[in-house]
Chains A and B, each alone.
Chain A
Amino acid sequence: MAAVTETVDQVQSVEKYKYGFVTDIEADQAPKGLNEDIIRFISAKKEEPEWLLEWRLKAYAHWLTMEEPDWPKVNYPPIDYQDSYYYSAPKSAEDGPDSLDDVDPELLETYKKLGIPLHEQEVLAGVKNVAVDAVFDSVSVATTFKDALAKEGVIFCPISEAVKDHPDLVKQYLGSVVPYSDNYFATLNSAVFTDGSFVYIPKGVDCPMELSTYFRINASNTGQFERTLIIADEGSHVSYLEGCTAPMRDENQLHAAVVELVALDDADIKYSTVQNWYPGDENGVGGIYNFVTKRAACRGKNSKVSWTQVETGSAITWKYPSCILQGDNSVGEFYSVAITNNYQQADTGTKMIHLGKNTSSKIIAKGISAGKSQSTYRGLVKMMPKAEGARNYTQCDSLLIGKECGAHTVPYIESRNKSAKVEHEATTSKIADDQLFYCRQRGISEEDAVALIVNGFCRDVMQELPMEFAVEAQKLVGISLEGSVG
């Protein structure tokens, strides 16, 4: 490559992760470290009822007896759980703003830079509005369209607020899909979770707008432990999207979230993620450890949950959005794009547990590895004895860019019902030289060509994203693969 292009590349690499800035804001933090007092501190900050504090403490006691999992195909130095802050909130947001006018201008500016609308725009003809819950470190700083949604009976608020305003719903469903004892990181989350979104869609309601939560880690040395709970009551429909960004820092920061979804009879939930946590630099320094437990219970008959994820960020990703298909005829879907570049590691996939009759699941996973990165698809399809007539279709495609990366596929299939059908297809390919040349001959730069070809490879997943986010996600594909060729 000519010298001029190289310099341009270097300049661009500084701007590659455009969300890497830090907001200078006064924060209220818990003392460093993790112990019962810290948990009491968090619970007190959130003015929580006694039962929730007890639940947290139970989780903490259990966590102390657990071992960090070592089965994922990822490597990282041991995490010092005492060397981190477990609560950090912008001072101005501590009491929770009453209205959007009260939100700290500094925070509004931050979200503007991130391209996230924290104002309630006029409804444009033909465009669906998007309601946003903005979580900044340990607290929600703003939630838009709450009133408009309330008119339909839809509850969309920070989970800390739901604990106060809708305690019965929270008590009934919190931990009902991911129990506090579930796994190392979920248990840690149960002990120290700070904020996240709560959604309840009442019976028969088709949620009138897209709901979304933007998670932002800002403070240094701080973990983010958010908890999201979405309940779709009988016959209701909702589409929800989460986005995530963090500043560029040399240290690794832990993000251990839990997401629980409950779909009752005839309800459906579409849950989309565009995960763009800071991935670390090109030498593998810094970046977020994204250790997340996401699970949906399709409890009702004919219920449906569809997970779509575009995972481009994080130094390490460890997540398996799953569906427990309990209701007869319930449907679970998992559409995933996982892109790793430089030294990123991703071990991601799904679990589809078929319990009910005629349940069906579909898994489309696309892994793209570049640089020296490692990407693993790990999936489990389990057909239980009563899952009469259950079906699964799985397709895993890996695309390798360059010679130093790795792609692995680890599909587990367990069938305990003879009438159940499981289909699995897998491919591994490379971007062909003739494809690159063809694009370049048409004037498309090598980097744009890679983005174009990779987006084509991911098309089946990308088209599942809500339209409002698809364009952004496509751009992200290109950005995260910058510097992977040439």
Chain B
Amino acid sequence: MLEIKNLHAKVGDTEILKGLDLTINAGEVHAIMGPNGAGKSTLSYVLSGREGYEVTEGTVSYQGKNLLDMEPEVRAGEGVFLAFQYPVEIPGVSTMNFLKAAVNSVRKYRGESEFDAMDFLKFVREQTKILNIGDDMLKRAVNVGFSGGEKKRAEVLQMAVLAPTLALLDETDSGLDVDALRIVGEGVTALRSPERSMLVITHYQRLLDYIVPDVVHVLADGKIVDTGDKNLAIELEKNGYANYSEAAA
């Protein structure tokens, strides 16, 4: 599904990713943990094609294709979805309209027919119910004035309606209260399927109680420095990253 080999990337003149290797098979959920500034969000941006993140070495193959060659919207069409660590506000554009524009763009790319307004509403309502999102939020402008938790829930809603093949979740748990964490965690878990892979970036083991990962990685100083099963996350919570910083240095 996703195969990253010796990935080097820089932002401006600074190299952030320094030879990262990672393979995710179809249907697997991988968690990435690691200290602040390790390069986790950078990895998610490189995979989704953000401008300014320059790959200097290495390859990324996604479903057998060269992911790095594709424009961001093509990657989205091919099923790559990023739940942003900091979702972006778009004033004046209702969340509903935004969702519709996104879903129809992606459907068009995939050669599927576009939704009409009524069908779409029905389709979205099914998802909002699961995520406990009120209609009120759909009418509000995208992320404008949303609380931290609402923003994260809206990201998961977008993920649900866009039905990605590879979902990258960047700290989707941060800013959530206990109940919201459960709703989001269960919501994401409900989206697990044999065709869908996920890369879950988080600082906290508690999210992984809901989204139980197949593999856990530690990313430090631009590289994967350790890989294990879900127990690795529990250990990290206890011991922190002290060992790895030394290893990376």
Contact = CB atoms under 8 A, between A and B. Distances in A.
Interface residues of A, number: 24
Contact of B91 (A439, A443, A445, A456): A456
A267 interface: no
Given A442-B162, A444-B105, A437 B92 contact: no
Given A441-B72, A443-B73, A459 B92 contact: yes
Given A433-B51, A443-B102, A443-B109, A438 B76 contact: no
B73 A446 contact: yes
Interface stretch (A55-63, A102-110, A193-201, A447-455): A447-455
Contacts of B106: 442-443
Interface in B90-140: 90-93, 97-98, 101-103, 105-106, 109
B51 A437 contact: yes
A434 interface: yes
Contacts, number: 80
A355 B84 CA distance: 54
B109 A453 contact: no
A440 B72 CA distance: 6
Interface centre among B73, B87, B97 (most CB of A within 10 A): B73
A440 B73 contact: yes
Given A452-B98, A458-B92, A442 B77 contact: no
Contacts of B51: 433, 437
B48 interface: yes
A266 to B, nearest CB: 33
B238 to A, nearest CB: 35
Most buried by B among A2, A433, A452: A452
Contacts of A460: 92
Given A433-B51, A437-B51, A441-B76, A456 B102 contact: no
A259 B75 CA distance: 51
Interface string A423-437: 000000000111101
Given A446-B73, A456-B141, A441 B90 contact: no
- Judged by DSSP, the binding face of A is helix
A452 B90 contact: yes
A432 B51 CA distance: 12
Q: Which of A435, A439, A440, A443 has the most CB of B within 10 A?
A: A443
A464 to B, nearest CB: 14
A457 interface: yes
Contacts of B98: 439, 442, 452
Given A443-B73, A452-B98, A457-B92, A438 B48 contact: no
Contacts of B84: 438, 441
Q: Would you list the 6 A-B pairs with minimal beta carbon distance, nearest first?
A: A456-B92, A443-B76, A456-B93, A459-B92, A442-B102, A443-B106
15 contacts: A2-B71, A434-B88, A438-B87, A440-B76, A442-B101, A442-B105, A443-B103, A443-B106, A444-B102, A448-B101, A448-B105, A455-B93, A457-B91, A457-B92, A458-B92
